[in-house]
Each structure stands twice: as structure tokens, then as C-alpha cells.
């Protein structure tokens, strides 16, 4: 149950922000080589990220860092793979975020390249297109894929639909179902672009959690605390869960809590809530 809920992006060409981003409190920091980096700056970004990782390795400091590479159809993809191949074994790179994930075979090749650097490295596959949603089940079971994420903005552009909850509901549900069937952790929801509106972020997190997501991509350090709080069970939920576990501690399920009968699914839900709150 101890899964990441916050994934914070930092542009790969802004080396002066790397340490600050890692220290911002997110569960995972994503050094970006894709959308946040101008084509003219991608080579410099690769050098900056490799230098930071090398210094981290030399100092023996761990860091839960992913690098978002460019997508397989991009003219920059081959350079990203070459960059990856040149990283020394043992580089503290936890994995890669793969954008516009569509083809499981391509993901397998990326995973193989990553394993030369980190045998335990994992892929976060971000679904951003109609093909990606259609292929969600195959992507979820592709070699090396540890979790799915939803690139809602690019997905809306691909479909030519509005970036609204109704328009994106099917895709979100598909990712939740594909993740569960593949026995992956629940997926990671896309970004909230409204940086100055905490209520919008809180509402987006609550909606994502309601659908079955258990994490969110963040584009600013100020979003981290709000996302973490939003995916954490409330005090009332944790209290209810504790009372369910206490009431059934003797092994009997023929009990009531708050006037409602407790059965096995209710007990499992209580265990899950306590696990997410760090108390089970």
C-alpha cells in the first residue's frame, strides 16, 4: 500500500532547480527531457541530468528520480536511448517515464535498455492518445511497466474533445481497470494547470481518487502538499476503519459498525484505509 502519490516535474535544462525539486517533498521527482525542454536545449538537458545523477552516485545519496524521455515517434528518442546507454551501471535512476505510450513492444525495448543501468528500474507509462487508451491492457502488462499515468491534456488534443471530466471519464476509467487487471498500483492522474487555486487542485484530487486513481502529476512544488493530503484518508475515515478492525478482531463478521453490517469487503476496505494512512 506504500505507493507514490506525488510525481513532481522539473525541466531537465534547469539544473539549478534539481536539488530544490528533490527536496520539495514529492514521492517521486521527474526530470523532464520532453515537453518542458526546447529542442535546442535537449542535449544540454541530457548532460545536466547525467551530471546530477553522477554526483548523486558519487556521494552515495539515493533519490527517487525518474527521467521523462521523448516519445518513440519523436526525432529525439534515439538520442535519449543513446544517452541512457552511456549512463554507468549503478546510476541512481529509479526509472523512466515514457510519454505517449502506445506500443507494448516499444516499451519492452526501453525497459531492456533501462535494466543495463538499473536492473530494478521501472517504467511509468503515460497514456496520452486514443491508441494508448485502446492499448491500455497490453501496455499495463508490457515488460518493465510498473504503473500507468494519464496525460489528459494531450489526450484531449488527440481526440479533439474538450478537457472536461465528462469527456475524459471513459479514458480515466479504462486506466483504472487496466491497472487493476494487470495487478499494478492504481494509476496516476494528469496535471492540474491552475497553480494559484488550491480549491481546484483539491477538487481534482478528490475526483481522481473517487474514480480509483491513487496519485497525481504535479507541475509545481506548491501542489505537492495538497495532492498528498487529498489522497490521504481523512481522520473520520481512519477512525471508522479502526473501529471496524476492532469490532472484527475476534474473527466474527456478524457485527455492526455505525448501524451497518460488516462483511469481508468492508473489512478489506478498512484495512486499505488504515494502510494508506500508515496505521496498519
At residue 147, the 3 state secondary structure works out as: strand
Count CB atoms within 10 A of the CB of residue 153: 15
* 128 annotated binding-site participant: yes
C-alpha count within 13 angstroms, C-beta hemisphere, residue 98: 32
Integer Cα distance of 140 and 195 in angstroms: 30
Integer Cα distance of 21 and 220 in angstroms: 9
Contact partners, residue 209, CB within 8 Å, separation at least 6 = 230, 231
* 68 annotated binding-site participant: yes
Q: Which residues pair with 95 in a beta bridge?
A: 66, 122
Integer Cα distance of 264 and 61 in angstroms: 43
* 246 annotated binding-site participant: no
Q: What are 43's three cell numbers? A: 542535449
Q: Which amino acids are annotated as binding site for substrate, given as ranges?
A: 68, 128
Q: Which amino acids are annotated as binding site for Mg(2+), given as ranges?
A: 128, 154
Q: Which amino acids are annotated as binding site, given as ranges?
A: 68, 128, 154
Amino acid at each position: 500500500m506504500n505507493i507514490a502519490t506525488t510525481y513532481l516535474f522539473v525541466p531537465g535544462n534547469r539544473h539549478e532547480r534539481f536539488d530544490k525539486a528533490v527536496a520539495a517533498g514529492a514521492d517521486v521527482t521527474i526530470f523532464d527531457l520532453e515537453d518542458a525542454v526546447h529542442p535546442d536545449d535537449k542535449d544540454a538537458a541530457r548532460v545536466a541530468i547525467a551530471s546530477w545523477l553522477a554526483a548523486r552516485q558519487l556521494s552515495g545519496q539515493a533519490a527517487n528520480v525518474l527521467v521523462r524521455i521523448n516519445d518513440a515517434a519523436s526525432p529525439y528518442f534515439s538520442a535519449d536511448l543513446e544517452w541512457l546507454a552511456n549512463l554507468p551501471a549503478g546510476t541512481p535512476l529509479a526509472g523512466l517515464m515514457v510519454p505517449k505510450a502506445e506500443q507494448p513492444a516499444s516499451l519492452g525495448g526501453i525497459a531492456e535498455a533501462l535494466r543495463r543501468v538499473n536492473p530494478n528500474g521501472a517504467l511509468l507509462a503515460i497514456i496520452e492518445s486514443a491508441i494508448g487508451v485502446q492499448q491500455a491492457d497490453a501496455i499495463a502488462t508490457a515488460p518493465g511497466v510498473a504503473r500507468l499515468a494519464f496525460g489528459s491534456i494531450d489526450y484531449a488534443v488527440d481526440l479533439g474533445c474538450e478537457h472536461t471530466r465528462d469527456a475524459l471519464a471513459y479514458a480515466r476509467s479504462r486506466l483504472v481497470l487496466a491497472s487493476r487487471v494487470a495487478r499494478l498500483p492504481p494509476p496516476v492522474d494528469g496535471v492540474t494547470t491552475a497553480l494559484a487555486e488550491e480549491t481546484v487542485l483539491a477538487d481534482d484530487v478528490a475526483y481522481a481518487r473517487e474514480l480509483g486513481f491513487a496519485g497525481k502529476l504535479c507541475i509545481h512544488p506548491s501542489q505537492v502538499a495538497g495532492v498528498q493530503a487529498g489522497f490521504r484518508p481523512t481522520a473520520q475515515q481512519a477512525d471508522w476503519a479502526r473501529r471496524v478492525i476492532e469490532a472484527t478482531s475476534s474473527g466474527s463478521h456478524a457485527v455492526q459498525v455505525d448501524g451497518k453490517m460488516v462483511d469481508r469487503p468492508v473489512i478489506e476496505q478498512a484495512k486499505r484505509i488504515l494502510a494508506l494512512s500508515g496505521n496498519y
